[in-house]
Amino acid sequence: MLAVARRALSQGDASLQLNDIARQAGVGVGTVYRHFPTRQALLETLVNEPLRQLLEAARAAGAEGDSADGLRTFLRATLDLQLADIGLAEILAAGDLGQQDTVHLRQELDDAVETLLAMCRTTGAVRKDVTPEDLRRLMCGIEHAVRAAGDGSPSLAGQYLEILADGLRPPGASTG
């Protein structure tokens, strides 16, 4: 079931119709619904690994000597993971999550990003009012914009990330 669902996501189909997944996996619909009562539950299960990778990227970025460089590295890793996994942005932007593992991972991610942001605030690299939730939603917007361009252009992704980084700086801060 998970392999079928992952294949659908990798082909750009985030609809995750549970009946279709059951048919393609060669199992009964009841089997799918027993494991994943909703599409959201299935999506959260599928996205937990990319969430773990994102958490590690946030922690590594927080360990970099230059907080601004760490933030840029983290933003790039976030966008790359979102572009590689179409379901990740949906889970990052979701208000409510149902799976405890996913809730826990996203909270850990927010905590790691808050640590990174606190370092950046100290050095004047980001505005004082930027939150982890802000970054999650902004990155989802950039992911959507890059996908909407249709070509996944690395230069376009880089341009959008630079625009975001400039907007995160406090007014009057150097763009160095």
- pLDDT (tens, 9 = 90+) of the chain, 176 residues, equals 999 999 998 888 888 999 999 999 999 999 999 999 999 999 999 999 999 999 999 999 999 889 999 999 999 999 999 998 989 998 998 888 989 999 999 999 999 999 999 999 999 999 999 999 999 999 999 999 998 887 656 788 899 999 999 999 998 776 55
Q: How many domains does the chain have?
A: 2
CA distance 86 to 172: 36
Please state the pTM of the whole predicted model: 0.88
Residue 67 and residue 142 share a domain: yes
- Asked, for residue 174, whether it belongs to a domain, the answer is no
DSSP character string of 67-104: HHHHHHHHHHHHHHHHHH-TTHHHHHH-S----HHHHH
Residue 50 and residue 26 share a domain: no
Say which CATH number the domain at 148 has: 1.10.357.10
- Asked, for residue 173, whether it belongs to a domain, the answer is no
- Asked, for residue 176, whether it belongs to a domain, the answer is no
Q: Does residue 130 contact residue 113 with C-beta atoms inside 8 Å?
A: no
Residue 29 and residue 2 share a domain: yes
Residue 118 and residue 101 share a domain: yes
Give the C-alpha distances (Å, rounded to integers) separating 161 from 31, 74, 75, 99: 42, 11, 7, 30
In which domain, by residue range, is 123 found?
46-168
Number of Cβ within a 10 Å radius of residue 113:
27
